Amino acid sequence: MKMVVLLVTLLFTLHADTLRDEIARMLIVGFDGKRLDANSSLVRTIRRYPLGGVILFAKNLKTQDQVSALTHRLQALRKEPLLIGIDEEGGRVDRLAKIANGFKTPSAQRIASMKPSEAKRHYLKTAKALHRLGFNLDFAPVADLARNPQNRVIVKSGRSYGSDPRRVVAYASLFIDALHEEGVLAVLKHFPGHGSSAGDSHEGFTDVSGSWSPDELRPFMALRDKTDMVMSAHIFNRHLDAHYPATLSRSVIGTLLRQKMGYEGVVVSDDMQMGAIRKNYTLHEAVVLAINAGVDMLLFGNQIARPYRAETIIDLIASLVQKGEISRERIDEANRRIQALKREPFPDR
């Protein structure tokens, strides 16, 4: 009898450990500091779990040598290849500018005024810099159409290639090609389109119901087989879902993106700590809705709100699976996509 109890206990423990490993693989997290403290929670997490990835911000960057050492250290700690990402779009979202010794990636708006050959040269320089520094994931390019001239977060910031879907596709495709030439994965964002909004989802609830148009989907449709990941936007559109913003919407992610548009790759959320999510949903509500909607990887930048330890999120999601609020099948599905993505060639130092 004792042997049976011991065996059942062992099997339950292995099942729980495997579940936590799979959940960890679904997380991309940010952290403070320019070096890794051996006693930090991030180091402990990476050593214990196959964490999906990390994202670096300007606060993590000091010099090229320091960044290279940091990414090398991160990969040395991991149990399996780690995604090391950064927002390197160009223009106002140019994280590498502070360490690039004068080299800057032009904004999407400026790139779109160039000949394709010139644009490709700029993007190849960016991709080579990312590779050299140890990044294997770039949260770019932006596929949003510049439909609202007063849109601060995308249009007035120069982050869009323009209002013409064909032009956006052409230049976003050049960026993806350049990243792929250097083994860097690309993230097409922000699905289903943030360029017509009047508000900023970083700050709070952003409703595009009266401004969004279906042709904002065209760049995502055209590039769905080329991009490695698609990032969901935290925008609300009652014509697509009467209750939830895109990141939390099964109608937007599961039905529109997956079933109708045929996208089969990884979906990553925009930062789950942005105001549109954080101010309207608890962490419990947000992760349940996002994962059940079809989001495969959850991004917690730990930059614009109180930081969450990765293990806190892992434990929460594990408990939600055990309670039946998230199905194990959904966790397995996300992991199949993530593991397929990680089998693609990218810098693994």
Return the percentage of the chain with pLDDT > 70, whole number: 92
| CB neighbour list of residue 189: distance below 8 Å, 6 or more residues apart | 139, 140, 141, 142, 143, 144, 230, 231, 233, 270
**Structural domain containing residue 65:** 18-342
pLDDT band at residue 282 under the 50/70/90 scheme: very high
Residue 270 is a catalytic residue: yes
Placement of tokens 């064909």 in the chain: 166
> Does 8 fall in a domain?
no
- CA dihedral 303→308→314→316, nearest 10 degrees, is -130
Domain count, the chain: 1
> Does 6 fall in a domain?
no
- Quick one: tokens of 183? 């083994």
| CB neighbour list of residue 289: distance below 8 Å, 6 or more residues apart | 244, 248, 249, 281
> Does 77 fall in a domain?
yes
Residue 194 is a catalytic residue: no
| Interatomic CA distance for residues 195 and 151, integer angstroms | 7
- Quick one: tokens of 140? 């770019």
pLDDT in tens, 81-93: 999 999 999 999 9
- CA dihedral 112→132→78→348, nearest 10 degrees, is 90
| Interatomic CA distance for residues 18 and 277, integer angstroms | 29
pLDDT in tens, 187-207: 999 999 999 998 667 766 789
Instruction: Indicate the helix (H) or strand (E) that contains 22.
Output: helix 2-24
- Quick one: tokens of 38? 């051996």
CA 199 to the chain's CA centroid: 21
Domain harbouring 189, CATH code: 3.20.20.300
pLDDT in tens, 288-341: 999 999 999 999 998 877 888 999 999 999 999 999 999 999 999 999 999 999
Looking at residue 13, what is its pLDDT? 44
Residue 20 and residue 29 in contact, taking contact as beta carbons nearer than 8 Å = no
Looking at residue 305, what is its pLDDT? 73
For 151-278, strand residue ranges (E) read: 185-191, 206-207, 229-232, 235-236, 266-269
Indicate the SS3 state at residue 311.
Answer: helix
- Quick one: tokens of 161? 């290639």
Catalytic residue among 94, 200, 270, 296: 270
CA distances (Å), origin 283, targets 16, 177, 346: 21, 36, 32
| CB neighbour list of residue 58: distance below 8 Å, 6 or more residues apart | 95, 98
> Does 5 fall in a domain?
no
Looking at residue 199, what is its pLDDT? 65
> Does 9 fall in a domain?
no
Return the percentage of the chain with pLDDT > 90, whole number: 83
Average pLDDT in the 266-292 region? 96
With CA atoms as reference, report the closest residue to 20 among 43, 44, 48: 48
> Does 347 fall in a domain?
no
The pLDDT of residue 175 is above 70: yes
pLDDT in tens, 11-54: 444 455 699 999 999 999 999 999 998 888 899 999 999 999 99
Looking at residue 9, what is its pLDDT? 47
> Does 75 fall in a domain?
yes
Looking at residue 203, what is its pLDDT? 66
pLDDT in tens, 211-250: 999 999 999 999 999 999 999 999 999 999 999 999 999 9
Catalytic residue among 202, 207, 296, 315: 202
Q: 93: which strand partners?
A: 90
The pLDDT of residue 347 is above 70: no
Looking at residue 38, what is its pLDDT? 84
> Does 262 fall in a domain?
yes
Average pLDDT in the 125-137 region? 97
